[in-house]
Structure 1
Amino acid sequence: MSEVSADVKLAGWDGGTSPLRASYGKLFMWFFLISDALTFSGFLSAYGFFRHRYSGEWPVPSTVFHHFPFLEGHHLPLLYVGLMTFILIMSSVTMVLAVEAGHRNNKRQVLVWMFATIIGGLMFVGSQAWEWSNFIKGSEDGAILYENHIYNFEVDHVTHHSNKEIVVYKQEVLSKEASAIVIAGGEPIHGANLHHNEYGHIAFADFFFFITGFHGFHVFSGVCINITIFIMAFKGVMERRGHYEMIEKVGLYWHFVDLVWVFVFTFFYLL
């Protein structure tokens, strides 16, 4: 029995070395990512609950996010956010290449791919800021706030021009007489903020700002970390250490940010 116990002890982990052959830095990065994943899961679950509860007043994403830089007047549903997603995914690819170059101790390629990852992250954050500005600004026609309900103008989906004499509530077109009452007694609103939302229920704007902003903060933080690691690699800090493990650690974080965006994109823009 004692021999078996000794064998088990020798085969297991008895301290003194990193478990699972992973450094403590990697393990704690995984702990952080798991806790962060639970946070995002809670936010998205709450979003799903509210969307189900107020489904009749919830905006249709393709009618909200249809703008594109320098193409004003064109109705391009979700094209810009699709481009944002592509940029972030490609930055994840460049991060993989940076990690692979680090395994080969190739300083030059590490710098090249880290720089590309930083550019991709900055492009995504800038694109998100542009999208926020359009969401806050709203459409040219706006909407009518009447008795705590949002009424949108009827839109011809062929020409994408609105009839400002007829309004729609919960996707139902009101009569011309009812529309006249709403327009005369209501308050014109444009865009979305924490107080009103021309596109539909106010909770949509609240969740949009909070969740995409929280994710955007993660991306911005990742860009700052990437810049720090880039400078360290440029100065030869990792060469002197004999390894590029820091690239792997920040790579785990960057891939997590990319994966979270896939869920945010699905919940907010596709469903």
Structure 2
Amino acid sequence: MQQSAEENVEWHRQKLLRLIADWSSDQRSFKTASWRKTMMWIFLVSDTFIFSCFLISYMTVRMSTAVEWPHPSEIFALEIGGQKIPLILIAIMTFDLITSSGTMALAVNYAYDKKRKPAAILLVATALIGAAFVGMQAFEWSKLIHEGVRPWSNPFGAPQFGSCFFMITGFHGFHVSMGVIALLVIARNVWRGDYDVGRQTSYSHRTGDYEIVEVMGLYWHFVDLVWVFIFAFFYLW
């Protein structure tokens, strides 16, 4: 009986030691984590909640409205050569962002290898692809506005469509636009070698630190991932 009690005490002691070791390991990992990467992850998590609220609200509005919701293949069709092709512009926009994820990933890889010029060129390419996406989205907005779609009205069906569409795609487009500006600034710094010499004017003044390119990559991949959900909810549902 006494031996059983001692074994029980020893078991609890070992369990407590493992918990302390796990906590110490987590603490060491947190202390060695880059503040920029940590802050970016916190921002992305908070932004995920915002986009989730938007999309959940959109689903709630769409399922609760008694008026017929506009059909995506009709309202998002583009007339080419006298024929309406459904979702062709949206398909190009989606391919555009997926391509930009590839160029961004390559830029991060070259940056960590400290190959400045290829990294800078790929960052500029990513920014140009992102700018093309914003341009196509602006064209889509102007087309719908010309056809009478407004945040408060919609000639194709449920009036809530306009407010949901402009709010969610506009918020996403704002993220892409800010990303394009940041990409161009970082590309300039990479091309000049600011992260090699550690200039104070850069995002980082530590010599040889290209982590900012990876942090920017996290943001850009997040923006691309959000578009996949917007594409599924607005254009395929």
Structure 1 length as normaliser, TM-score? Answer: 0.74
> Counterpart of 2:161?
204
SS state of the match for residue 67, structure 1? strand
Counterparts of 1:208 and 1:19 in 2: how far apart (Å)?
39
Instruction: Summarize the Cα distance change of 1:83–1:14 in structure 2 as closer, same or farther, 3 Å threshold.
Output: closer
Number of corresponding residues: 215
Counterparts of 1:25 and 1:113 in 2: how far apart (Å)?
22
- Counterpart amino acid of residue 215 in structure 2: K
Give deviations 1:11-63, integer Å, cap 9, x for gaps. 82486x65285311101100100000000000000000111112642111111
Q: How far did 1:196 drift?
A: 1.9
Counterparts of 1:193 and 1:11 in 2: how far apart (Å)?
53
Which of 41, 44, 62 aligns to 1:30? It is: 41
- RMSD of aligned Cα (Å): 2.3
1:81 maps to 2:90: yes
- Counterpart amino acid of residue 78 in structure 1: L
> Counterpart of 2:140?
131
SS state of the match for residue 85, structure 2? coil
* 1:104-183 superposed matches below 5 A: 104-138=113-147
> Counterpart of 1:223?
180
> Counterpart of 1:237?
194
> Counterpart of 1:178?
none
Contact 2:67–2:158 under 8 Å retained in 1: no
Higher strand share goes to which structure? Answer: 1
- Off by >3 Å, runs of 4+ in structure 1: 4-11
Instruction: Summarize the Cα distance change of 1:242–1:63 in structure 2 as closer, same or farther, 3 Å threshold.
Output: same
> Counterpart of 1:269?
235
Counterparts of 1:117 and 1:204 in 2: how far apart (Å)?
31
Instruction: Summarize the Cα distance change of 1:244–1:124 in structure 2 as closer, same or farther, 3 Å threshold.
Output: same
Instruction: Summarize the Cα distance change of 1:78–1:20 in structure 2 as closer, same or farther, 3 Å threshold.
Output: farther
* 1:24-103 superposed matches below 5 A: 24-54=35-65, 56-67=67-78, 71=80, 73-103=82-112
Instruction: Summarize the Cα distance change of 1:82–1:20 in structure 2 as closer, same or farther, 3 Å threshold.
Output: farther
> Counterpart of 2:24?
12
Q: How far did 1:112 drift?
A: 1.4
Instruction: Summarize the Cα distance change of 1:8–1:82 in structure 2 as closer, same or farther, 3 Å threshold.
Output: same
> Counterpart of 1:180?
none
1:248 maps to 2:205: no
Unaligned regions of 5+ residues in structure 2, if any? 1-12, 198-206
Q: How far did 1:72 drift?
A: 5.8
Give the stretch that moved more between structures: 224-233 or 28-37.
224-233
Q: How far did 1:243 drift?
A: 2.4
Unaligned regions of 5+ residues in structure 1, if any? 139-190
SS state of the match for residue 75, structure 1? strand
Contact 1:58–1:204 under 8 Å retained in 2: yes
Q: How far did 1:78 drift?
A: 0.4
Counterparts of 1:249 and 1:14 in 2: how far apart (Å)?
21
Counterparts of 2:111 and 2:65 in 1: how far apart (Å)?
49
Counterparts of 2:19 and 2:142 in 1: how far apart (Å)?
64
Give deviations 1:48-96, integer Å, cap 9, x for gaps. 011111264211111100015xx26321100111100100110011000
Give deviations 1:196-244, integer Å, cap 9, x for gaps. 2111111001100000000000000100111111111122111222121
Counterparts of 1:257 and 1:87 in 2: how far apart (Å)?
12
Structure 2 length as normaliser, TM-score? Answer: 0.84
Q: How far did 1:195 drift?
A: 3.2
Identity within the alignment, %? 42
Higher helix share goes to which structure? Answer: 2
